[in-house]
Structure 1
Amino acid sequence: MKKLVGLFVMSFLLTMTIAGLLLSGVKIDKVQAQSIESLCPTEDITNTQCQGPKDCLYPNPKNCNTYIQCTVNNDGMTGTPVVMPCPGGLQWNDNQKICDWPNSSTCPS
């Protein structure tokens, strides 16, 4: 039951985040699986089900001003990568799993 409630809460929060971004005019793109290989590692998804606030978040190798959030597919073992934007001027910090000031980000120079 706890797992079900956790999944519901995470789904709700993700839905609300995406809805808020869409309403504010921010563009969110699904990533082509072929373009970024192994972006949603099966091991991470099966171990965490992406339930924690910092689970299944990864740097976007194509853009430091965004990050990748994997959503769990129905099989519970694979994920779908979604590009999420960092707020204005911030870049992804993969150590902290947050959008951060550029001088604190883990983005390659």
Structure 2
Amino acid sequence: MNGFAALIFALVAVSLVTGNPVKKCEKHGELMADDTDCSCFWECSFGVPIRLYCQEGLEYNPEKEYCDYPQAGGCHAEGGAPGVPDGSSNSNSRQKPTCPSDSATHLHQYPNPEDCHSFYKCSDKGVPVLIQCPAGLEYDAFAQVCDYPEQAQCVVQK
């Protein structure tokens, strides 16, 4: 019985460390606001909550279900937004990709031309969302996964 109790404790500890949302993740594709950080939100992927991040300077808008300007986002997180102040984003940054109209039924992912450690995934609402790869990994545009740099062979466009 001690092994079972240790397993339950470990699972609870992992869920607390990873910062899973308090809300249940029941419907695939459902989007949920983060209760502590306005610059991110959660997407349910087959019962598993996945933390997604808005582009720098934007906040998740739970009413519209996409990342929006802070003044329109309606964020009510306890921690506020750690993003940049209004109007201070980099004006040289490239535009996000345009998501096709079938994004609700098909998966669309695009490499970030400015950063190998992230990529864009189209939400089911047709909005491109910037997603960070785990530490040490880069986005592989061919396989459409984050992988080791030598496998991903990512090249940043200049």
| TM norm. shorter chain > 0.5 | yes
Unpaired runs of at least 5, structure 1: 1-7, 22-27, 74-78
Q: Quick one: which amino acid aligns to residue 97 of structure 2?
A: L
Alignment of 1:47 onto 2:102: yes
The answer for the alignment partner of 1:63 in structure 2 is: 115
Q: Aligned-pair distance for 1:81?
A: 1.6
- Residue pair 1:92, 1:99 contacting (<8 A) in 2 also: yes
> 2:96, 2:115 → 1: CA distance?
17
TM-score by length of 2: 0.43
C-alpha deviation, 1:30, in angstroms: 2.9
Distance 2:114 2:94 in 1: 9
Q: Determine which of 51, 54, 57 is the counterpart of 1:29.
A: 54
The residue aligned with 1:9 is 28
Unpaired runs of 5+ residues, structure 2, are 1-26, 31-43, 59-90
Find the aligned partners of 2:96 and 2:129 in 1 and give their Cα distance.
13
Larger relative contact order (Cα-Cα within 8 Å, sequence gap ≥ 6): 1
What's the offset of the Cα at 1:83? 1.2
Flag the 1:36–1:56 CA change in 2: closer, same or farther, 3 A. farther
What is the rounded CA distance, in whole Å, between the counterparts of 1:38 and 1:30 in structure 2? Answer: 9
Q: Which has the higher helix share?
A: 1
Structure 2 CA distance, aligned partners of 1:84 and 1:97?
12
Q: TM-score, normalised by structure 1?
A: 0.59
Equivalent position of 2:154 in the other structure: 107
- Post-superposition shift, 1:68? 0.9
Name which one, 1 or 2, has greater alpha-carbon Rg: 2
